[in-house]
Every structure is written in structure tokens, then in C-alpha cells.
Structure 1
Amino acid sequence: MNTIIAFVIIFGALVFFHELGHLVLAKRAGILCREFAIGFGPKVFSFKKNETVYTIRLLPIGGFVRMAGDDPEVIEVKPGYHVGLIFNHNGEVAKLIINNKDKYPDAKIIEVEQADLEKQLWISGYEQDNDSLERFKVHEKASLVVDGSETQIAPYNRQFGSKTLSQRTLAILAGPVMNFLLAFVVFFLLGLIQGTPSEEPRLGELVSGKPAAEAGLKEGDVIKSVDGIAVDSWQDIVQIIQQHPEEELVLTFERAGSTNQVEVVPDLESDGTITKGVIGVYPPFEKGFVSSIVHGATDTVYWTKTIITGLGKLITGQFSIDMLSGPVGIYDATDEVAQTGVYNLMRWGAILSINLGIINLLPLPALDGGRLMFFAVEAVRGKPIDRQKEGIVHFIGFALLMLLMLVVTWNDIQRIFFSS
């Protein structure tokens, strides 16, 4: 149960901050954001604030911000329609009742002659038993009412496509950027709470049962030399020990003003590609606000480079698709990390946040990077690509991504539950 809670909190936070980036920059550009959703599928919980409906949906596999102009279904008011009009105190149309008009006895029913709900915001038509054509001003935040559900109209200047290329680019780019900022903040907080790694040749926390602890070394011991080689930094110690797995080494150290020596045999550790020696010691830590900021930045850069390198190996064939993990694999990894403590869980969440940001920046249809790629083409050719053609490309890309997720998830299930 704890793992489920941890997974939901971590994944929910990653998606929340990603979509929050889109929402904030879109609203700042004046785009009407109809919905801010965490998850997909049926709504579990929702509330409306100002113009936006905030929802939590059943399937926790992502999220979205539904912006005006990108709506999959647009309600049109066509000539010949019979609609009901409800007016505000200024005599402007505040609601257009599309169906079930009998439920609104105060509405004025007209047969539509023409309607412009995007630019000039008016509607004209004939009232029953009246041959006079009337024209009515429509308020910029008027609602279309279908089956009792209200949808705010989107004047062209509130639509995504009406904004400048830079505004649209920033609204899309803000999602991945927020993931990198979230990772930085988490690494920064870990630095404040735990401290940041120091380069002093001093031992940090020791792992019980490992060679260093078994040899009698203690946290705070200052290492002077390893097998006769003088060391001046923590990295010097690590480098020598990693190069001598399962070999006896003599460590000279200082404790409480006295110098001592001890023999240590590093364990052999391998990740399948790299073999190294380890003695079960963490680096020393120091606490400080500035050092925590530096730590947050350096860790964010480090994991960004590491993940990009991994993606490069996947593209060049050095990694196979079987090495990818989907939601099931991430859940299993989260379970393992959760057992090692809350700080490691926070670090894991930061790494996942960076991963989400990088994946979304890939120039693939249906991802943020795919949309940015279309913007780049627009910048070069001087005009946007046809929206219908772009929509088809994104739809196909989304279908392929869902197929990839199914394949990866199936591989996760086989590896976790059926591997011998």
C-alpha cells in the first residue's frame, strides 16, 4: 500500500507540475484553457475556477491542458438552427441554448440566420412569428449550453492558434522546463536536509556488513593514503578502490589525532558493463544554502546528460527496447527505492521528472517536442502547417506511442512476474 501511495504521489506530482507549466504560460498569453486534467479517461473529481475546469481522471498515465482552438470537438451554431438566447444585464447574449430549450422558459428562441462567435461576436435570426431579422451582440465569455452542460465560446483572440509563434512556443516548452525545475528543487531540498557531498578525503556513513565497517573504519575517519598512495580528495579514494576489486589494500587514516592503518578487501560490483571495487562507504556531507543550490544544479545536469546518453545508445542499437520500462516497470522500481528511505524516493522522483522532461522534448508527434518541431518548420517557411494535416500526424504519433507503451508494459510484466 505504501508503494502505491508513493507511486501515485510521485507520478501525480510530475504530471501536475508539467501541465502547470503549460497552464501558466498559456494563461499568461491570453489563451482560454478549458480544462486542466491529471490522468485520462472518465472523470473522478472536478471543480471549476474562473474559466478552467480542474479534473482528476481515472487512468493515472499522464495529463493535459485543453486549450481553446485545440478542441477535438467544436460546437457550431449553423444557419437554420433553433437556439435559445439568454441575456445579461447589458443586453448581450450570455448563453446560447442549443437543445432542450423547453427547460429554459426565459430564453428567446430564434432561427439562426448567421452567427460569428469568433471575431465580431454576434448572432442574427428570426424570432418565431416575426419576419424581422434581429441581430444580437454576444458577450466574449458567453456559453453554449448542450444537454445542460456549458462550454464557453472562444473568440479568436483567445485561441491557441491566434497567438504569436513565440507565445505558442513558450506555452508548449513550459511543460518540460517545469520538470527540470522540479528536479532542481528536489535536489536542492535534499542538499539542505541531508547535506551535499564533500570532496574531503573523509569517510561518510558506512554500510553495515561491508568491507569498510568490517575492517573497523568509522564515519569521520580522514584517509591519508590508500596502499601507500597519498590521497587529497574523496574522488582520489574512490578511484583507487574501484580499480582494485577483491585485492587487499592498506588504508592509512587519522582518527582523534592519531594515525592508524587497516587492511580492506573491496567487494566486486558489476552492472553488466562495468566492474569495480566497493567498500561500502558514502561520501562525507556538508550543509549550506549555496552548496545546496550548486548541488541541485549539478545533479540536474548530471542526470540530464546520463538520460540523454542512454537514449542515444537506444537509438544506435546499444540498448534494446526490452531495456525500456513503462508504468509497471517504474512502479516496480519505485517499490525497491521506497524500501531504502524517503530521501532516496525523493531523488528517484527527481530523476523521473528529468526523464519525463527529456522524453517530452523528443521531436515525435503527439509529444511537446513534436509540436515544437512544427513550430520550427513554421518559423522557416513563414506560415503554419495546415492544422488538419498536423492533427493527423499527431493522432498517428499518439497511436504509435500507445502501441509502444503496450509493448513496453508487456515486457515489464514478463520480466517482473514470469522471469525465472
Structure 2
Amino acid sequence: MNTLLAVIVIFGLLVFIHEWGHLIVAKKAGILCREFAIGFGPKLFSFVRNETLYTIRLLPLGGFVRMAGEDPELVQIKPGYEIGLLFTEEGKVSRMIINNKSKHPDCKVIQVEKVDMEKDLFIQGYTEDTEELVTYELDRRAEYVYDEKPTQIAPYDRQFGSKTVGQRAAAIFAGPFMNFVLAVFVLIIYAAVAGLPVNESVIGDVTDDGPAVEAGLESGDRITSIDGEEVATWEDMTEIIQENPNENMEFEIARGNETFNLEMTPEEREVPEAENVGVIGVMAPTERSISGALAFGFTQTYEYTALIIEALGLLITGEFSLDALAGPVGIYEYTGEVAAMGFLVLLQWTAILSVNLGIINLLPLPALDGGRLMFIGLEAVRGKPVDPQKEGMVHLIGFALLMLLVLAVTWNDINRLFL
């Protein structure tokens, strides 16, 4: 249960902040955002606010922001349709009732002759009573209603395609960018709570078992020398200890105004793909400061980014096997293990996943934000957009291949866990 709750909270946060980035920048550019969704599939919960339908859906596999103009309208009004009209106080059309007109007895029924809901914003048709051809102006926020579900019209200047290359690129880039912002913020919280390591040869804490607690070492003790060799920093101290596993060593300790010697034998600890090292069971001292936490948030996010990009490079060159990748099942399992380690470790894991999501989405692959940015960049170079149908087909094929990769990685997860 703890694992499921951790997964729901973490992935919900990652998806929310990513899609929120798209939404805010798109709205700032004047794009009509029809829906902001967390998850896919059937709706579990929804409400409308400021022109946008906010939904939580059944399948927690991502999310989306549906911007006007990106996809064909689900319902179209064509010549010959008999529809009902409702009007604003100024006489403009506020609603177009496509069916179930009987539920709107006050509507004016016309047979459509011509309609423009993008540029000139009018609807023309023959009235039911006089059979006269009349033209009505559409309100810019008019809605068409099908099966009692209203959908706001999207004048061309409110559509994604009407915006400049820079505005569209910003709206797409904002999603991954917000994942990096989230990572920085989470790591700042981590540093503020846990503190930052101080590079001094002072004992921050002593583990419950190990040579240090057995010898009587205490938190706050300063190690001044090891086997006669002076040490001043944490790095100096740990380097000597790690290089001498199973070797009896003499430590000079300063505790307050007292100085004394202790003998300890570092325990040998295995390190994957490296020589074993010595440990005595102590942790570095920490300090808390606003400036230090801020710096840690940015520098650690940069380091995570560099490591993930390096791993992707190894994957491309074949030095890193696909079998080592984790899919949804693997990430669920790892999140459970991390959650058991405590809140602070879970914060670090959240930051890593957020950076990973940001980088993956920026890859120049169809169906990802990076693929969409690639087409926008191509438009900037060519001076004209790529044919929307061709671009849509590329994204569709890319999405299908992406789903195949997810299935393959998920199968690897299942094999690792259960077979």
C-alpha cells in the first residue's frame, strides 16, 4: 500500500508539473486549451474552469494538454444541418444546439447554409418560420452543443497553429523545462531538511554497529590523524580508511578540550566492479543554510542531468544494454524500495525521475515534445510548416514504436521480478 501511494503521489506530481508547464505558457500565448488531463482513458473526475476542462483519467500512464487546432474538431457543423441558436444580449450567437433541440425551446432553429467558426465568425442559414436566408455573428466564446456537451469554438487566433514559431516552441518546451524546475525545488527541500555535508574530519553521526561505535567514537569527535598521518578534511580521512580494510589503525581523536587515541579496524565492504573498501560506520557532518540549499538544488540537478545523458549515450553506442532499462513495473518496484528507505531518499528519487522525464521528452523522437520541437525548428529553417497530415502520421508511427518499446521494457521488468 505504501508503494502504491508513493507511486501515485510521485507520478501524479511529475505529470502534473509537466502538463502544467505546457498549459500556463500556452494560455499566456493566447492558445485555447480545451483540456488538461492527468492519465488516459475514461474520466474519473472533471470540472471546467477558465475555458479548460480539467480531468483525472483511469490509466495513470501520463497526461496531456489538448490545445485548439492541434487535432480536428470532434463535431463539425455542415451545410444542411438543422441547428438551434441561442443569443447573447448583444445579439451574437452564444450557443449552437446541434441535436436535442427540444430541450432548448427558446432556441431559434435554422437550416445551415454556410458557417465560419475560425476567421469571419458567422453562421448563415434559412429560418424555420420564414425560410429567409439570414446571417448571424458568432460570439468569440460561442459554444456548439452536441449531446448536451458544450464545446467552445476556437477562432483561428486562439489556435496553436496561428502562433509564432517562438510561441509554439515555448509552449512545447515548457513541459520538460518544468520537470527540471521541479527537480531543483525538490532537491532544495532535501538539502534544507537533511543538511549538506561539510568537508571536515568531524564525525556527524555513528551507525548502530561497526568499528566506530565499538571503539567509543561519538558524534562531534574530530579525527586529527590516522596512524600518525594528519587529516583535516572528510575526504582525507575516508580515503585512508577506505584504502586499509581489515588493517588495525590508530586514530587520534579530539573531543572538546581532550585528545586521546583509539584503535579501530575498518571493516571490508564490497563495491560493485571495484576493489573492496574499508569502512568504520560513521557519517559526515552536515550544515543547513539557505544559500547552500539553493546551490545544491541547481548543482545536483545538473549532475543528475549529466549522468542520465551519459547513460543515454552509452545506450546509443551499445555499451549499455536495453535489458538494464526499467519500465513502469520496474519503476514501481524501485519506488517501493526507495519509499522504505525514508522520506529524504524518496525526495532524491523524485528529483531523479523528474530529470529523467524532462530529458526523455526532449529527445528528438516523434510523439515526444522533442519531436514536436524538431518539426517547429524545421519550419523555422524552411520558412513554412510541414504538411500537418505528414507530421501527424510521423507522430502516430513514433507513438506506436514508443508503446512497443514500453511493452518490451515492461516484459524485461516482469522477467527480472517474477521469472
The offset of 1:249, in angstroms, is 4.5
CA contact (8 A) 2:245 2:265 kept: no
More displaced stretch, 195-204 vs 322-331 = 195-204
More displaced stretch, 152-161 vs 346-355 = 346-355
Q: Residue 343 of structure 1 corresponds to which residue in structure 2?
A: 344
Separation (CA, whole Å) in 2 of partners of 1:289 and 1:350? 19
Q: Residue 127 of structure 2 corresponds to which residue in structure 1?
A: 127
Q: Deviations over 1:149-193 (max 9, x none)?
A: 111111111111111111111111111111111111111112222
Query: 5 Å matches for 1:306-345?
Result: 306-345=307-346
CA contact (8 A) 1:326 1:409 kept: yes
The offset of 1:239, in angstroms, is 3.3
> Please, which runs of 5 or more residues in structure 2 have no aligned partner?
none
The offset of 1:38, in angstroms, is 0.7
Residue 324 of structure 1 aligns to which amino acid in structure 2?
Answer: L
Query: 5 Å matches for 1:6-405?
Result: 6-71=6-71, 73-257=73-257, 258-272=259-273, 276-405=277-406
Residue 111 of structure 1 aligns to which amino acid in structure 2?
Answer: Q
CA contact (8 A) 2:211 2:264 kept: no
Separation (CA, whole Å) in 2 of partners of 1:275 and 1:196? 26
Residue 341 of structure 1 aligns to which amino acid in structure 2?
Answer: G
Residue 68 of structure 1 aligns to which amino acid in structure 2?
Answer: A
CA contact (8 A) 1:206 1:280 kept: yes
Residue 369 of structure 1 aligns to which amino acid in structure 2?
Answer: G
Distance 1:97-1:275 versus aligned 2 partners, 3 A rule: farther
TM-score relative to the length of structure 2: 0.95
The offset of 1:275, in angstroms, is 5.1
The offset of 1:315, in angstroms, is 1.4
The offset of 1:273, in angstroms, is 6.0
Residue 359 of structure 2 aligns to which amino acid in structure 1?
Answer: I
Q: Deviations over 1:10-69 (max 9, x none)?
A: 111111111111111111111111111111111111111120111111111111111111
Residue 24 of structure 1 aligns to which amino acid in structure 2?
Answer: I
CA contact (8 A) 1:95 1:142 kept: yes
The offset of 1:308, in angstroms, is 1.4
The offset of 1:85, in angstroms, is 1.0
The offset of 1:355, in angstroms, is 1.0
Separation (CA, whole Å) in 2 of partners of 1:375 and 1:227? 64
Separation (CA, whole Å) in 1 of partners of 2:68 and 2:329? 34
SS at match of 2:270: strand
Separation (CA, whole Å) in 2 of partners of 1:142 and 1:323? 52
Distance 1:379-1:16 versus aligned 2 partners, 3 A rule: same
TM-score relative to the length of structure 1: 0.94
Residue 13 of structure 1 aligns to which amino acid in structure 2?
Answer: L
Separation (CA, whole Å) in 2 of partners of 1:270 and 1:138? 71
More displaced stretch, 144-153 vs 200-209 = 200-209
The count of residues paired between Structure 1 and Structure 2 equals 418
Separation (CA, whole Å) in 1 of partners of 2:395 and 2:63? 16
RMSD value, Cα? 1.8
Residue 233 of structure 2 aligns to which amino acid in structure 1?
Answer: S
Residue 369 of structure 2 aligns to which amino acid in structure 1?
Answer: D
State percent identity of aligned pairs: 56
More displaced stretch, 36-45 vs 303-312 = 303-312
Distance 1:215-1:343 versus aligned 2 partners, 3 A rule: same
Distance 1:383-1:111 versus aligned 2 partners, 3 A rule: same
Residue 319 of structure 1 aligns to which amino acid in structure 2?
Answer: F
Q: Deviations over 1:287-328 (max 9, x none)?
A: 111111111111111111111111111111121111111111
Distance 1:394-1:280 versus aligned 2 partners, 3 A rule: farther
Distance 1:154-1:270 versus aligned 2 partners, 3 A rule: same
Separation (CA, whole Å) in 1 of partners of 2:252 and 2:376? 61
Residue 47 of structure 1 aligns to which amino acid in structure 2?
Answer: F
The offset of 1:120, in angstroms, is 1.1
Separation (CA, whole Å) in 1 of partners of 2:12 and 2:386? 34
CA contact (8 A) 2:17 2:182 kept: yes
SS at match of 2:282: coil
More displaced stretch, 253-262 vs 370-379 = 253-262
> Please, which runs of 5 or more residues in structure 1 have no aligned partner?
none
Separation (CA, whole Å) in 1 of partners of 2:360 and 2:368? 8
CA contact (8 A) 2:19 2:64 kept: yes
Distance 1:396-1:108 versus aligned 2 partners, 3 A rule: same
CA contact (8 A) 2:241 2:266 kept: no
The offset of 1:227, in angstroms, is 4.4
The offset of 1:237, in angstroms, is 2.7
The offset of 1:272, in angstroms, is 4.0
